């Protein structure tokens, strides 16, 4: 899995480099679409390493690059958005405003502590909290869907704060 | 032709797979009452031709031993093996210090049909406490055994037994082809498991209808939470809640006509009641916090639920129409997932103490609060229909198992699967008893 992820990241970097090179002479829209496809693949390969910026993103499009970070994290039993998450959501909002055909699913999750049904509601509240901020930033509500998975789809399987922190999340899928 | 073969092969694979994963839950006593009632259970006499039979007496002995309230005297110590009233020599049993004696007989009266008789004696008073005869099909022999266990349990402890009941639970198996979730129903001793639903997506919150005929549950099979109702016997099911947002925490009203549930279609998690006849949906809570995990009182007049309206999740009670909300829990950092005891006197719930989640019981009169478990991630407690045991989910060595604890905390058991995790247990209400004579 780790190897696959490396290959993905390398392919992703190459594809971004290729797109970046091409984008300079082509119109913006197709370049964006190719960039988006690249990220999709990366995400599917489990780009769990918080998708650190690879340096390619800024080359793709000038006005609104496709954000690298597809996930925001939360404190225990909280749906409050901290400054780090705010920056990530703002980047997504900018991209989504520039790309009005993109539909987004906000997948809300909770860690394993607390009861399952409460966590289903908590995951929903986290998703809605991100959804609300995207709306305030100009993304129309018809483009946004929130789905809560509660604690049922953990990203990390441990029973400690390291795992719990990664599992208290909203993933932006598009 | 190769295509057909492939089809057959994949069918076989699935078939084998489901057999292997329908493994029986293994139940183990982890803590017994200090002094169990010493009881002797003589292997029942077997009459009739044919295949080796399940001896009903072995199931009764296992039931009583597992309850933690009896000490079953090993059969190799028995001085005699009576099957009829005339053969009983009470002195033989006094010597073994047995307080109670169970004898019986099972006879094949026609192919596949059995007559089972049993008698329970008080060894010291030398009198019969119970004696019954059942005539059943071979498939009901285990049920007869559990019903005999219930009678013995009630005669000797003064409380009704809950052996002739079932449990529902969800298993999660990590296979080479991915995760598989199953909603299962089994006898209270883990035997006769059947799969109610198999899915690649999570299943949670099974809730029994009155009489144990139907289950309501939440399934993610479509990609998000939806509530279904399913008959246990013929597996027929219907989708009852598919609103925008979450559809969760189904709970049958005691009369079986209404289903409480949590929906977020109006903005955030609120409790609603769906009338299953008219399909009318009534909203019970209205605020900007999480309200969920509704459970009805046995008389159907009140609903307890979880709400974080005070900051952290706590347990509240309201009338079944949503009025008169009052907070019930003040102990621990948070409390959630409440449900009533069958007599309506107690509520079991998950309590959070210093970041650990335990099973607790609150007495509604006097508000006495007792923590019954000490493992860190306990959840989903429900009472047995006799009110004596609470079944819940916990983890042992990182593996999901079920556990039960007597409501006084003295007897404990674990229920585990060899492969995979087991979680989300729900103990059925009493179902219809088999007819008995004498």
pLDDT of B100-154, one tens digit each?
Answer: 999 999 998 988 899 999 999 999 999 999 999 999 998 899 999 999 999 999 9
- In chain B, what percentage of residues exceed pLDDT 90? 80
- The mean per-residue pLDDT over the stretch A94-116 comes to 96
- Per the listing, tokens 């210090």 go with B97
Residues B340 and B367 both lie in one domain? yes
What phi, psi does B219 have (nearest 5°)?
-125, 140
pLDDT tens track for B395-412: 988 899 999 998 888 889
CATH of the domain at B117: 3.40.50.10070
Q: How much is the pLDDT for A51?
A: 39
Q: B249-276 in b/e burial notation, b at 16+ Cβ within 10 A?
A: bbbbbbeeebbbbbbbeeebbbbbbbeb
Supply the DSSP string of A94-108, one letter for each residue.
Answer: HHHHH-TT--EEEEE
Contact A153 B202 (CB under 8 A): yes
So where are chain A's domains?
A: 2-60, 71-173
Q: How much is the pLDDT for A22?
A: 34
Is pLDDT above 50 for A58?
Answer: no
Q: Which domain holds residue B309?
A: 166-427
Residues B273 and B408 both lie in one domain? yes
* Distance from the Cα of residue B71 to its chain's centroid: 23
Contact B262 A117 (CB under 8 A): yes
Q: How much is the pLDDT for B408?
A: 82
Higher pLDDT, B115 or A38: B115
What is d(CA A69, CA A31) in angstroms, rounded to the nearest whole number? 19
Does some domain include residue B435?
Answer: no
Residues B255 and B136 both lie in one domain? no
Residue B95: both structure tokens together? 């010597």
Q: How confident is the model at residue B22 (pLDDT cuts 50, 70, 90)?
A: low
- The mean per-residue pLDDT over the stretch B328-332 comes to 94
Q: How much is the pLDDT for B339?
A: 97
What is d(CA B99, CA B102) in angstroms, rounded to the nearest whole number? 10
List of E strands, B70-112: 70-72, 100-110
ipTM: 0.90
Contact B268 A152 (CB under 8 A): no
CB B270 within 8 A of CB B286: yes
Q: How confident is the model at residue B261 (pLDDT cuts 50, 70, 90)?
A: very high
Nearest residue to B218 (alpha-carbon basis) of B235, B199, B193, B190: B199
Side-chain half-sphere CA neighbours of B431 within 13 A:
20
Is pLDDT above 70 for A15?
Answer: no
Residues B211 and B326 both lie in one domain? yes
* Mean predicted lDDT score pLDDT of chain A: 75
List CB contacts of B111: < 8 A, sequence separation 6 or more. Answer: none
List of E strands, B74-149: 100-110, 113-122, 127-137
* Distance from the Cα of residue B27 to its chain's centroid: 13
Does some domain include residue B128?
Answer: yes
Closest chain B residue to the Cα of A118, Cα to Cα: B292
Is pLDDT above 60 for B245?
Answer: yes
Is pLDDT above 50 for A35?
Answer: no
Q: How much is the pLDDT for A30?
A: 36
What is d(CA B294, CA B259) in angstroms, rounded to the nearest whole number? 10
Determine if residue B115 is left, alpha or beta; phi over 0 gives left, psi from -120 to 50 gives alpha, anything else beta: beta
Is pLDDT above 70 for B419?
Answer: yes
Residues B56 and B102 both lie in one domain? yes
CB A106 within 8 A of CB A147: yes
- Sign, CA dihedral A108-A112-A113-A117, equals positive
Is pLDDT above 90 for A16?
Answer: no
List CB contacts of A95: < 8 A, sequence separation 6 or more. Answer: A64, A65, A66, A67, A102
Q: How much is the pLDDT for A4?
A: 44
Residues B260 and B153 both lie in one domain? no
CB B385 within 8 A of CB B212: no
Residues B204 and B329 both lie in one domain? yes
Show which of B157, B174, B193 is a domain's final residue.
B157
What is d(CA A161, CA A156) in angstroms, rounded to the nearest whole number? 10
Does some domain include residue B438?
Answer: no
- In chain B, what percentage of residues exceed pLDDT 70? 92
Contact B268 A113 (CB under 8 A): no
Higher pLDDT, B248 or A52: B248
- The mean per-residue pLDDT over the stretch B336-356 comes to 96
What is d(CA B46, CA B53) in angstroms, rounded to the nearest whole number? 8
Residues B245 and B333 both lie in one domain? yes
Q: Helix or strand or coil: residue A129?
A: helix
CA gyration radius for chain A? Answer: 16
What is d(CA B405, CA B354) in angstroms, rounded to the nearest whole number? 22
Q: How much is the pLDDT for B98?
A: 97
- The mean per-residue pLDDT over the stretch B227-236 comes to 95
pLDDT tens track for B296-327: 999 999 999 999 999 999 999 999 999 999 99
Closest chain B residue to the Cα of A159, Cα to Cα: B398
Q: Spelled out in words, what is the top-level CATH class assigned to the domain A71-173?
A: alpha beta
Q: How much is the pLDDT for B57?
A: 95
Residues B153 and B197 both lie in one domain? no
Residues B176 and B31 both lie in one domain? no
pLDDT tens track for A118-161: 999 999 999 999 999 999 999 999 999 999 999 999 999 888 99
Contact B377 A112 (CB under 8 A): yes
Q: Which of A121, A153, A159 sits opposite B262 (nearest CB)?
A: A121
Residues B121 and B68 both lie in one domain? yes
Q: Which of A113, A148, A153 sits opposite B357 (nearest CB)?
A: A113
Chain A residues lying within 8 Å of B304, measured CB to CB? none
Q: How much is the pLDDT for B231?
A: 96
Side-chain half-sphere CA neighbours of B387 within 13 A:
12
Q: What is the DSSP letter of B321?
A: T
What is d(CA B171, CA B176) in angstroms, rounded to the nearest whole number? 16
CATH of the domain at B171: 2.120.10.30
Q: How much is the pLDDT for B164?
A: 94
What phi, psi does A21 have (nearest 5°)?
-60, -45
List of E strands, B158-252: 166-175, 178-187, 194-199, 203-208, 214-219, 226-231, 237-241, 247-252
Residues B82 and B182 both lie in one domain? no
**B100-110 and B37-41: which strand pairing?**
parallel
Q: How much is the pLDDT for B327?
A: 98
- The mean per-residue pLDDT over the stretch B372-400 comes to 93
Show which of B157, B190, B218 is a domain's final residue.
B157
Best of A76, A112, A114, A117 to substitute, by most chain B Cβ atoms within 10 angstroms, is: A117
Q: How much is the pLDDT for B29?
A: 79
Domains identified in chain B, total number: 2
Q: How much is the pLDDT for B297?
A: 98
Q: B22-55 in b/e burial notation, b at 16+ Cβ within 10 A?
A: bbebebeeeebeeebbbbbbbbbbbeeeeeeeeb
Chain B residues lying within 8 Å of A146, measured CB to CB? 245
Show which of B157, B180, B208 is a domain's final residue.
B157
CB B207 within 8 A of CB B190: no
Q: How confident is the model at residue A17 (pLDDT cuts 50, 70, 90)?
A: very low
């Amino acid at each position: 899995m780790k190897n696959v992820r490396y290959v993905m990241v390398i392919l992703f970097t190459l594809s971004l480099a290729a797109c970046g090179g091409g984008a300079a002479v082509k119109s913006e829209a197709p370049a964006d679409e190719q960039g988006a496809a690249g990220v999709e693949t990366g995400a599917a390969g489990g780009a769990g390493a918080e998708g650190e910026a690879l340096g390619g993103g800024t080359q793709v499009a000038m006005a609104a690059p496709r954000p690298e970070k597809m996930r925001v994290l939360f404190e225990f039993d909280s749906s409050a958005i901290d400054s780090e998450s705010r920056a990530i959501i703002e980047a997504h909002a900018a991209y989504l405003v520039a790309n009005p055909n993109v539909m987004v699913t906000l997948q809300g999750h909770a860690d394993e502590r607390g009861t399952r049904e409460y966590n289903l509601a908590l995951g929903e509240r986290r998703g809605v909290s991100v959804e609300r901020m995207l709306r305030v930033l100009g993304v129309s509500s018809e483009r946004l869907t929130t789905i809560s998975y509660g604690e049922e789809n953990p990203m990390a399987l441990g029973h400690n704060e390291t795992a719990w922190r990664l599992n208290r999340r909203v993933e932006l899928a598009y | 032709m190769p295509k057909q073969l492939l089809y057959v092969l994949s069918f076989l694979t699935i078939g084998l797979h489901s057999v292997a994963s329908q493994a029986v839950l293994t139940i183990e006593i982890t803590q017994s009452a200090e002094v169990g009632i010493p009881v002797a259970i003589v292997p029942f006499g077997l009459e009739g031709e044919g295949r080796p039979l399940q001896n009903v007496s072995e199931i009764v002995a296992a039931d009583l031993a597992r309850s933690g309230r009896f000490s079953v005297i090993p059969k190799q110590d028995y001085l005699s093996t009576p099957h009829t009233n005339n053969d009983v020599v009470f002195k033989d049993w006094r010597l073994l210090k047995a307080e109670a004696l169970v004898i019986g007989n099972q006879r094949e009266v026609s192919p596949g049909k059995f007559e089972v008789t049993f008698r329970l004696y008080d060894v010291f008073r030398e009198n019969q406490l119970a004696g019954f005869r059942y005539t059943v099909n071979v498939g009901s022999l285990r049920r007869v055994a559990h019903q005999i266990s219930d009678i013995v349990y009630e005669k000797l402890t003064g409380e009704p037994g809950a052996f002739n009941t079932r449990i529902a639970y969800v298993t999660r198996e990590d296979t080479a082809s991915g995760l598989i979730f199953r909603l299962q129903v089994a006898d209270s001793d883990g035997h006769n498991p059947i799969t109610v639903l198999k899915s690649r997506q999570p299943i949670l919150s099974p809730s029994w209808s009155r009489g144990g005929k139907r289950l309501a549950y939440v399934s993610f099979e479509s990609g998000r939470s939806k509530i279904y109702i399913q008959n246990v016997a013929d597996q027929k099911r219907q989708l009852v809640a598919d609103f925008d947002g979450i559809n969760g925490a189904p709970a049958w009203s005691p009369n079986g006509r209404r289903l409480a549930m949590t929906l977020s279609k109006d903005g955030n998690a609120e409790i609603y009641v769906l009338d299953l006849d008219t399909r009318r949906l009534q909203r019970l809570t209205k605020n900007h916090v999480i309200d969920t995990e509704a459970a009805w009182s046995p008389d159907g007049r009140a609903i307890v639920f979880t709400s974080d309206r005070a900051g952290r999740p706590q347990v509240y009670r309201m009338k079944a129409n949503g009025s008169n909300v009052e907070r019930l829990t003040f102990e621990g950092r948070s409390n959630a997932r409440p449900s009533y005891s069958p007599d309506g006197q107690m509520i079991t719930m998950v309590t959070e103490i210093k970041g650990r989640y335990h099973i607790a019981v609150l007495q509604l009169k006097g508000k006495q609060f007792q923590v019954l478990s000490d493992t860190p991630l306990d959840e989903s407690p429900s009472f047995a229909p006799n009110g004596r045991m609470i079944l819940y989910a916990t983890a042992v060595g990182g593996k999901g198992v079920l556990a039960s604890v007597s409501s006084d905390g003295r007897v404990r058991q674990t229920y585990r699967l060899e492969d995979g995790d087991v979680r989300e247990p729900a103990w059925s209400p009493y179902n219809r008893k088999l007819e008995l004579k004498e």
